[in-house]
Amino acid sequence: MAAIGFIGLGNMGGPMAANLVKAGHKVVAFDLVEGLRNQAKSDGATVAESATAAVEGAEVVITMLPAGKHVLAVWSDVVPAMTKGALIIDCSTIDVQSAKQAHALAAKHGIGSVDAPVSGGTGGAKAATLTFMCGGDEISFAAAKPVLEKMGKKIVHCGGAGAGQAAKICNNMILAVSMIAVGEAFTLAEKLGLSHQALFDVASTSSGQCWALTSYCPVPGPVPASPANNDYKPGFASALMVKDLTLAQDAAHASGAATPLGRHAQEIYRAFDAAGHGGVDFSGIINHIRSLAGK
Ligand code: NAD
């Protein structure tokens, strides 16, 4: 079992590191927050006092951090301290450009690298059912896969450096646009006197069918496990959706792609976030849509 250094023990990284311990890996963990280091210790990891100490002698290093600047700062510190031939995997959601820079940094030091952002949220992190979207060369991906399988159920090799991040932001742009569309459809149905269940029964088996409707329905009732039944507690917070839509817009500008609905979805989620709802599950956007009536 590979010795693993794990840096970033937040909502996602904490349970992911715990699953690696459960699978039998020796995990040395670090976070800036003392309480999170203590939690990792009680989950069975060894706690390091710095990021560089966490990677000493590790065969695989994993980072799970907020944004590109954090990843580049941590990788600049730890990559030179890693054993030659070891592997570093970043599971954070970051911009494609920073991901490519991080890969180049690793290559310069003879370290294999994979960008492997995830889908599945905190529930998936706890249950080890995440989907990993991976970018990197074949050899690095092959080395990363058995480790990622301890934290997820689907591991997809999307292409070279940065391809995992590209897949993540494209997927989440689809998700945001489709959630808004589903929210608009239920809002219109309410005005037309059509029940939630009737719309669900028709659309979930018709051409309007999509994940935002069938697995994550934004009204209480039809899908009992969706956050709509739990006062829109996340789940996947709207602030994180704003982050991913902004990464998608930045990538669209940089690459010259036209994404008019992606841009509009970013504006809608930004307004929801600015109104103080950043901590609400992203399916709560239906309440924002209702509030626009007559405006
Ligand atoms: P979080 O803020 O809970 O955790 C990030 C952790 O990184 C924090 O504990 C912070 O202290 C730590 N950190 C920051 N700088 C550090 C440094 N220099 N050294 C060590 N630790 C450092 O965030 P999260 O919800 O766990 O998300 C992590 C990443 O996963 C983000 O990029 C996010 O976009 C992505 N993501 C989150 C979700 C979700 O549902 N929460 C879902 C998919 C993807």
Where do the domains of the chain lie? 3-160, 166-291
Residue list, ligand 1 pocket, CB within 6 Å: 7-13, 30-33, 36, 51, 64-66, 70, 73-74, 92-93, 118, 121-122, 236, 240, 243
**Residue 113, pLDDT score:** 98
Instruction: Confirm whether 3-160 and 166-291 share one CATH topology.
Output: no
CA distance 161 to 134: 9
Homologous superfamily (CATH) for 3-160: NAD(P)-binding Rossmann-like Domain (3.40.50.720)
Which element (helix H / strand E) includes 258? none
Which tens digit of pLDDT belongs to each residue from 37-53? 999 999 999 999 999 99
Task: Give the pLDDT confidence of 91-115 residue by residue, as tens digits.
Answer: 999 999 999 999 999 999 999 999 9
Per-residue pLDDT tens digits for 56-86: 999 999 999 999 999 999 999 999 999 999 9
Residue 18 binned pLDDT confidence (cut-offs 50, 70, 90): very high
The angle formed by the CA atoms of residues 41, 44 and 48, to the nearest 5 degrees, is 45
126 flagged as catalytic: no
Q: What residue type is 235 in one-letter code?
A: G
Q: What is the mean pLDDT of residues 22-26?
A: 98
pLDDT at 235 over 90: no
Q: In this predicted model, what pLDDT tens digit does every residue of 143-162 receive, in sequence order? A: 999 999 999 999 999 999 99
Report whether pLDDT(139) > 90: yes
Decide which of 1.10.1040.10, 1.20.1250.20, 3.40.640.10, 2.40.40.20 is the CATH code for 166-291: 1.10.1040.10
Beta carbons of 109 and 82 less than 8 angstroms apart? yes
Residue 294 has pLDDT above 90, yes or no: no
For residue 240, the ligand 1 atom closest to its alpha carbon is: 34
Residue with tokens 């994550």: 216
What's the predicted TM-score (pTM) here?
A: 0.95
| Ligand 1 mean position, distance from CA 70 (Å) | 9
* Atom of ligand 1 lying closest to residue 235 CA: 40
